[in-house]
Structure formats: C-alpha cells, structure tokens
Amino acid sequence: MNSQSSPSLRQALTPSDNDSSPERKALLAEIDASCRRPVLFMFANGLLWLMAGTALALLTSYKMHSPNFLADWSWLTFGRVRPAHLNTMVYGFASQVAIGVAIWLMCRLGRVPFMQGGLVVGATIFWNIGVTVGIVGILAGDSTSIEWLEMPGYAAYILFIAYALIAIWAIIAFRFRRERHLYVSQWYLLAALFWFPWLYSAANMMLVIDPVRGTVQGAVNWWFAHNVLGLWFTPIGLAAIYYFIPKVIGRPIHSYFLSTLGFWSLALFYNWAGIHHLIGGPMPAWLITVSVVASMMMIIPVVTVAINHHMTMVGHFKKLKYSPTLRFIVFGAMSYTVVSLQGSSMAIRSLNEVTHFTHYTIAHAHLGVYAFFTMVMFGSMYYIVPRLALREWPSARLISIHFWTTALGILLYVVPLSVGGVLQGLAMNNPDIPFLKTVELTKPYLVTRTFAGILMTVGHTVFAVNFVWILARRRKAYQPPVPFIAAGLQQEAGAQLGKDI
C-alpha cells in the first residue's frame, strides 16, 4: 500500500524501535495525556464563549446601523451589548484558549507532564463563573465603563483568583522542566503569564477598587488596555507561531538570534506605547510623546519577527495547502506584521488626527485580536486537540470552510471599515460638514461589517461542530495504542493497520 499517513501522532503514541532516550520518548504521549483534561476543558469553555461572543457581536454590529432593533430592553441596549461582546471575547474566549495553549506549549517544550490537571479544571470552572458573573453584571448595568475592564469589581476578584490558581501550575511546569534549555516560545509564555496578573490587578486596583484621581485614570486605563493586547495576547500568539511554524513544516526557525532580539525589543517598547490612545487628549505632553516614540520603536520587534517567520517559511509555502494549522498560523503571523505596522502609523499625530475617534480604530483592533491572535489560536487548536483527544478531526471540509469564512470574513470586516473610518475622520475634521453627515456616510460600511460578521459566524459554528464531533466520537473504535491516520484511508487502512501491529 503506497498511501501515506501523518507520522506525528502515530509516532508519539507508539514507542519506536530504536529507542535511544526512553524517558524523552515516553514524554510526548505522557505530556499530551496529562494535558488532556484541563486543556480540552478550557478549549470547550472557550468555544462556548466564542459562540456567545459572536452572537453579541452580531447584535452589536446590527444595532450600529439599525438602532431600533431590540432597543427597548435595557439589558440589550447598545452600550451594554458592546462591552459584553468585548469582555466575552477577551476573558471568556481568547484568554481561556490562550491559557490552554500556553499550558500545552509549556509542558511540551519543557518536556514535563502537567501536574494537578484536576485542580486546574476546578480553577477553570471558577474562571468561567467569574466571566459569567461579569457579563451578567455588564448587561444588568454594573459595567464600569472603563474600556477593556468593564467587568464589575466583584467579577474581577473571581477572575484574578482563578487565574492565579491556573497560571501557578504553568509556572511550576516551567520551573520543573526536564529540558533545561529554553526555546524562545517559553520566554514569551513565561513573560505573558507573569505580565497579565500584574496588569490586571494593578489596573483594577487603580481604576475600579480605589480609583486614582482625574485623568490619571486615563493613563492607567490605556497602559492596561493596550498591554492586554501587547503583553498578554501578543506574546502567547508569538509563542505559538514560533513553535508551530517550525514544528509543522519540519524546519527550525530561520534565526534564533533574531527571535531573542525580537523578544527583548517587544518587552521594552510595547508596554510604553499605550497612551497613544489619548493623543490630543487632556494629558501632559511628555506622557503622550513617550508613547508615540515607543509605538515607533515597535517597528523593530515587528520587522524582526516578520523577517524571521518569512525566512523560515520560504520554500515551504506549498505546505499551506496540506496543513490546517499552518494556514491559520501563517495567516495570523502575516496579520501580526500588518496590524503592528498599522498600529505604529496610527500613533503618528497627523494620521491620528484623522483616525482617532473613528471606526478605523475598531477595524484595527479586530485586525489585532482576530486576524492575528484568534487565527493563531484556531491554528493551535487544530494541532493540539487531535493529540489530546487521540483521534483525527472528523471533517476536513469543515476545517476548510472554517478557514475561508473567517479569513475572508475578517478581510471583509477590516478593509471596508478602515476606508469608512478614514472618510468619517476626514469629514469630522471638516467643520463645514454637519455632524449627522459623518454618521450617514459610515452606514454602508457598517452594513458590510454585519455581512462580514455573518460570514465569521458561519466559520465559528462550523468549528464548534467539528470540535463537538471530535470529542463526541465513540472512544471504542480507538483503542490505544492508536495509530493515527491522516490521509483518506480511515476505512481500508484501518484493516491494514490491524494486521501490521
């Protein structure tokens, strides 16, 4: 039989003959097994929130051009649904999946099984209770109206404690790693796992629990909100890219030196950039200037990372056709370059004068959180889930649909809305144009966004179906040791395999 199969899981799950280092060999399967419950549990909950957040997103988007829709119930008024959408996606979906991916990567790279999976499942339940309480709080009118931190204080306590209980085990996995050498992904993961609780607790302390005075709140707010993206999602996204591109195509990263340079320049510059959200605002000039400079300096890590990833991929782009993980990851990596350079440009005062306060910023935010981070997380899940569930994705077609609907959906979202945003900004800066005209001219772009949203909703639904399907498949047919079959030979090769083993 000349059919080929994916070697990875098969090799991971069955001991090979020429066993030179037995401890390490056993570990890949052992690691995956130890991560199975907590990580799959996080992914499942994350996907539930993804679906909820998608519904809220569609509702928000629809309301933006049809304001009378479901407007008469206070719980569903625009100003509550919008932050509910953001917080569902950020804390329910993105952060939760990110933690799952981080745990798995941390264990794989450290070659150490995950400890206390059961305890982490408990903490994850606690985390989800926190998100639920927070979202209900926002819808009920308890939103703090502090962007990216809308969840009321009581939910923030739950989230923080739950986070600490989960993250401590990822740090412990790092501390007791059996592979002492560190790969760059571990740098990013360790940093993110440490930066997030600092950001979250400091911002909550200074804004919600015991607010500082006046516009200092603005500074704290954007130090936090910008860094949630820059020091929490971005490092985990980059850690995944640095792992999966080499891993999937089977070629080491182009330049390891560049990757360390990228890490330190990101760590140095990203966290100073947040106050560019307040250009022209009532802040001291030095504070804004510092952030503009830091935003410009961000070009260094971004270009470094872009070159490194591109050079790694060169000659291997054909593999995009064959690997779902690679498709999503490379799409995300390219988006990272685009969104970061765009972000730096938006800190230039003359451009900021136009794009600030418009839909351009919204498009930019989705390019970052969705086209970069979410797509990378999707890619990571396509790689991780089969290895934890010990079976292959049931439907390749659904994966294809997922990729194309979300990739085209986010493009259809970002490109028109950016154009609309620039037009809106230009009109707004021309005092001869009545304000209502600036509202009127954005409507077609807002309607387009709703269509883009529908497309992305299809993608998410399809992904959720595939996810439920892979978990719900009957285990009986997959008695371990499970040889893993990738190519279209489940049927006939299954019988063949029976003879082989």
Partner 1 sequence: MLIYIIILAGSFVFLTGSALLALRWALRTGQLRDSRRTALLVFDEDEPVGRMTDYFPGRPLPPTDPASPSISK
Partner 2 sequence: MKYGPLLFLGIFLTLASSWVGLTVIPQMQFGGLQTTKIEETGRDYPLNTWGAASKGRELYRANGCIYCHSQQVRPQGFGADIERGWGTRRSVSRDYLYDKPVFLGTMRTGPDLTNIGQRQPSVDWHLSHLYDPQITSKGSTMPPYRFLFEQRKIGAKPSPDALKLTGEFATPPGYEIVPTENAKDLVAYLLSLRADAALLEAPLGK
Shorter beta-carbon distance to partner 1: residue 156 or 381: 381
Contact partners, residue 169, CB within 8 Å, separation at least 6: 103, 114, 115, 116, 119, 120
Nearer to partner 1 among residue 157 and residue 393 (C-beta)? 393
Q: Label residues 59-79 b or e (16+ Cβ within 10 Å = b).
A: bbbbbbbeeeeeeeeeebbee
501 CB-contact burial (10 Å; exposed 0-12 / middle 13-18 / buried 19+): exposed
Of 369, 333, 357, 386, give the one whose Cα is nearest residue 53: 369
299: its two tokens: 């070009």
By beta-carbon proximity to partner 2, the closer residue of 272 and 403 is: 272
Question: Given the complex with partner 1, which of 134 and 246 has the nearer CB atom?
Answer: 246
Residue type for position 447: V
Binding partner 1 by CB under 8 A: which of 140, 182, 212, 472?
182
Tokens of 331: 């799409």
Instruction: Tell me: does residue 196 bind partner 1 (CB under 8 A).
Output: no
Residue 125 binds partner 1, judged by CB under 8 A: no
Please, which residue, 68 or 321, has the CB nearer to partner 1? Answer: 321
* Residue 102 interface partner, choices partner 1, partner 2, none, CB cut-off 5-8 Å depending on type: none
Based on the shown chain and the rule CB under 8 A, indicate whether residue 179 belongs to the binding site for partner 1: yes
Residue 489 interacting with partner 1 (CB under 8 A):
yes
Q: Cβ 118 to partner 1, closest distance in Å?
A: 28
Q: Does residue 163 sit in helix, strand or coil?
A: helix
Beta carbons of 38 and 128 less than 8 angstroms apart: no
135, 228, 253, 390: residue in contact with partner 1 (rule CB under 8 A): 253
Stretch that binds partner 1, among 77-85, 210-218, 313-321, 471-479 (CB under 8 A): 313-321
Q: How far apart are alpha carbons 23 and 226 in whole angstroms?
A: 43
Contact yes or no for 25/494 (Cβ under 8 A): no
Provide the residue type at 357 as one letter: F
User: Is residue 490 a contact residue for partner 1 (CB under 8 A)?
Assistant: yes
- b (16+ CB within 10 A) / e for 431-444: eeeeeeebeeebee
- Please report how close the Cβ of residue 457 comes to partner 1 at its closest, in angstroms: 23
We find the least distance from the C-beta atom of residue 357 to partner 2, in angstroms, to be 4
Which is nearer to partner 2, 346 or 390 (by Cβ)? 346
∠ CA 371-375-378, rounded to 5°: 160
CA distance 292 to 285: 11
Query: Is 250 an interacting residue with respect to partner 1 (CB under 8 A)?
Result: yes
**List 23, 73, 181, 476, residue binding partner 1 (CB under 8 A):** 181
- The option from partner 1, partner 2, none interacting with 488 (CB < 5 to 8 A, set by class) reads partner 1
* CA 150/CA 145 separation, integer angstroms: 5
x/- binding map, residues 365-404, to partner 1, per CB under 8 A?
-----------------xx--------xxxxx--xx----
User: Interface with partner 1 includes 7 (CB under 8 A)?
Assistant: yes
Site string for partner 1, 433-452 (x = CB under 8 A): --------------------
| Beta-sheet strands, E only, within 367-488 | none
| Interacting residue ranges for partner 1, rule: CB under 8 A | 1-8, 10-12, 16, 18, 20-21, 24-25, 28, 109, 179, 181-184, 243, 246-253, 255-257, 260, 318-319, 321-326, 382-383, 392-396, 399-400, 483, 485-490, 493, 496-497, 499-500
